[in-house]
Amino acid sequence: MGIINYPNKKTVFKSVTSYKNRGMVLEDDLNVTNEYYRVYDIAVIYKKPIPIQVVDVYYPARNKAVIKEAYYKTPSTTDYNGIFQGRYLDFEAKETSSMTSFPLKNINHHQIEHLNAIEKHGGIAFMIIAFQKLGEAYLVSMTLLNKYYQNQNERKSIPYKIIKENSKLIVSGYKPRLDYLKAVKELFFD
Amino acid sequence: MGIINYPNKKTVFKSVTSYKNRGMVLEDDLNVTNEYYRVYDIAVIYKKPIPIQVVDVYYPARNKAVIKEAYYKTPSTTDYNGIFQGRYLDFEAKETSSMTSFPLKNINHHQIEHLNAIEKHGGIAFMIIAFQKLGEAYLVSMTLLNKYYQNQNERKSIPYKIIKENSKLIVSGYKPRLDYLKAVKELFFD
C-alpha cells in the first residue's frame, strides 16, 4: 500500500482573474469550476474522494463512527471523471513548481494505464498540467503524455516548451475559474 | 456532515453459482465483477472511494502520514461510475434484508438527483437493488425509482413485486459473478 501525504488545505478565493501573483491551487480551482458546470447544467464532473484505508474505527455512540487509524492509499484511477455532452470524460490534474518542465514522477503508472483504457473505450481522456509559477494550466493529450512516459530512459520530464507548443492553454477567469471544457470542446468536439 | 457506519468487511468468495444459502454481499460481488470487466476489456467501471473527512493527521516520519481522527461523510454522488461501449454509466447499489419491499430511506436525495442529472446529460443511470434473503438482484430504472421516490407521502418503499415485474433480473454466476452489463445491454442498447 502506497502512502502519500496530502495537505488538508481549505483555501477559498473570492474573485480571480489571473494566476499571476498567487500560488496556483489547481484542486480548488477545479472544484469550483466543476461546481459551476453542474449548477449551470453544462456537465456533471466530480473529483473522486481520496482513497483511505481504514484500520481502526471507534464507536463512541450508536450511529456514530470515529476513525482512529487510517492511511492514504495510492489511487488506482484518476482524480476526476464525469459526463459532458453525452461523452464520458476522465482526467488527472497535476501542478508543478518547476518553470521549465513537468517531472513525470508526478504521474503514477496506474493513472496512465487507466487514461489509455478510457480512450480505448471511446471516452475523452487527458491531463491538466499546471505550472504554478507561470500561472498557466494546459490540457495535455494522451498522445503527448504517452510519448514522453514511454521514453523515460531518455528523459524523465516533459519540457515546458513542448507542452506549451502542443497543448491547449486553459483560460482562467472569474466564472468559470478554469474553463477546461472550452479546451475539451476545441480538441475533442470540433 | 452526515456520519454513517460502514462495516470494514473483507469477505472473499471462491466460486459462487447462486445467491441462495449465503448472505448477499453486493459490494464484493460488484467489485469482482468490475475487475472481470476490466481484465477482459469489456468496460472500465470502478467503485468510488468512500468519502472521509480527515480531521487530524500525524507524521511519525517523513513521507508517512497516519490519520488519527476522521469521519465518514455522506456521499454526494453514487458509488459506481465508468464507461461501457463508449457510454458514460453511473449507478448506486443497495441491498435490503426485507423480502417484501425496498425501503426508500436507503437512498439519499443527492443520489437520486445525481442519477437524474446523468440521464439528462445522455448517460446511462440506474440502481441495482438486491434482496439478500431472496438471492436476487435487479437493475432498476430511473423511471420506476422516480415514480416511487416522488410519492413517499403515499408509501415509503417499493414493493418487491413491482420491482420484480418492472426490472431486469441480474444473472449471477461464476464469471462474471453478477453480470449487470448484460441487463444494461438489453435495456439501453438493444
Which chain A residue shows the shortest CA-CA distance from B79? A48
- ipTM of the complex in this document: 0.85
pLDDT for the residue numbered A167: 97
Residue whose C-alpha cell is 437512498 = B107
Q: Residues of A with CB below 8 A from B65's CB?
A: 3-6, 71-72
- Strand B124-131 vs strand B87-96: parallel, antiparallel, or unpaired? parallel
Chain B partners within 8 Å of A79 (Cβ): none
Q: Do A71 and B67 touch (CB under 8 A)?
A: yes
Model-level pTM?
0.86
Query: Chain B: residue nearest A38 by CA?
Result: B117
Res A24: pLDDT: 53
pLDDT in tens, chain A (190 residues): 344 444 444 433 333 444 444 445 899 999 999 999 999 999 999 999 999 999 999 998 877 899 999 999 988 899 999 999 999 999 999 999 999 999 999 999 999 999 999 999 999 999 999 999 999 999 999 999 999 999 999 999 999 999 999 999 999 888 999 999 999 999 999 7
Side-chain-side CA neighbours of A150 within 13 Å: the count stands at 8
CA distance B106 to B132: 14
Which segments in chain B show pLDDT lower than 50? 1-23
pLDDT value of residue A158: 98
Under 8 Å between Cβ of A46 and A34: yes
> What's residue A63's pLDDT?
74
Phi, psi of A163 (to 5 degrees): -60, -45
Q: Amino acid identity of A74?
A: T
Phi, psi for B94 (deg, rounded to 5): -135, 150
Residues of B in contact with A5 (CB under 8 A): 59, 63, 65
For B172-177, which contacts have Cβ atoms below 8 Å and span 24 or more sequence positions? Answer: B172/B16, B172/B17, B172/B18, B172/B19, B172/B29, B172/B135, B172/B137, B173/B16, B173/B17, B174/B15, B174/B16, B174/B17, B175/B36, B176/B32, B176/B33, B176/B36, B176/B37, B177/B13, B177/B16, B177/B29, B177/B32, B177/B33, B177/B36
| Residue contact A44–B81, C-beta within 8 A | no
| Side-chain-facing half-sphere of A107: CA atoms under 13 Å | 29
- Mutation site for A-interface testing, chosen from B37, B114, B121 by largest number of A Cβ within 10 Å: B121
